[in-house]
């Protein structure tokens, strides 16, 4: 069980606690979000660290894997980063033979694809996350899953 506060509360205790103020409730929500994300990324982070890679590399692999042939400009938009911020991690993935960059129909546009090794690594990184989310959603049921998705859409859209 993950401790979610200096007082040693578990995620279950924090979720069930009835704080006396709205600020306390929101702080608990922030803590749950933080610790859930930490748990969610722990296994992929270990795999990435062994290869000398970081979360940005995982994000690139994930979105290129979902969008074969994606233009670099579109990947920049999805990730919300500058071309300069994407350059070094993308170059590293290409050097390691995980991503290819080829000219598109418009020769000025570079299209990205995962190599077989890149697809395998992406599946290893995201597979445990998909499995964990699938188990959680099966446990909580469809209405709770839909509510969670709506909250995440709203958080992502801010």
CA distance 30 to 15: 11
For residue 100, the surrounding DSSP H or E stretch is strand 99-103
Q: Torsions phi, psi of 45, nearest 5? A: -60, -40
pLDDT along the chain (158 residues), means of 10: 52 59 94 96 97 97 97 95 95 97 84 97 97 97 97 91
What per-residue confidence (pLDDT) applies to 108?
80
Tell me whether residue 47 is exposed, middle or buried, using C-beta atoms within 10 angstroms of its C-beta: 0 to 12, 13 to 18, 19 or more. Answer: middle
What per-residue confidence (pLDDT) applies to 101?
93
Classified by CATH at the fold level, domain 53-156 comes out as Arc Repressor Mutant, subunit A (1.10.10)
User: Which residues have C-beta within 8 Å of that of residue 61, sequence separation ≥ 6?
Assistant: 93, 98, 99, 114, 118, 121, 122, 125
């Amino acid at each position: 069980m993950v401790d979610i506060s200096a007082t040693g509360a578990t995620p279950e205790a924090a979720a069930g606690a009835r704080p006396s103020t709205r600020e306390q409730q929101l702080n608990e929500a922030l803590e749950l979000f933080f610790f859930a994300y930490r748990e969610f990324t722990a296994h992929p982070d270990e795999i990435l660290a062994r290869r000398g890679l970081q979360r940005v590399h995982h994000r690139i692999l994930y979105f290129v894997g979902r969008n074969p042939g994606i233009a670099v400009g579109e990947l920049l938009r999805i990730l919300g980063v500058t071309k300069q911020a994407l350059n070094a991690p993308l170059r590293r993935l290409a050097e390691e033979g995980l991503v290819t960059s080829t000219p598109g129909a418009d020769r000025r546009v570079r299209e990205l694809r995962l190599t077989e090794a890149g697809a395998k690594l992406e599946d290893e990184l995201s597979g445990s996350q998909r499995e964990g989310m699938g188990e959680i959603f099966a446990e909580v049921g469809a209405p709770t899953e839909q509510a969670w998705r709506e909250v995440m859409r709203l958080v992502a859209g801010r």
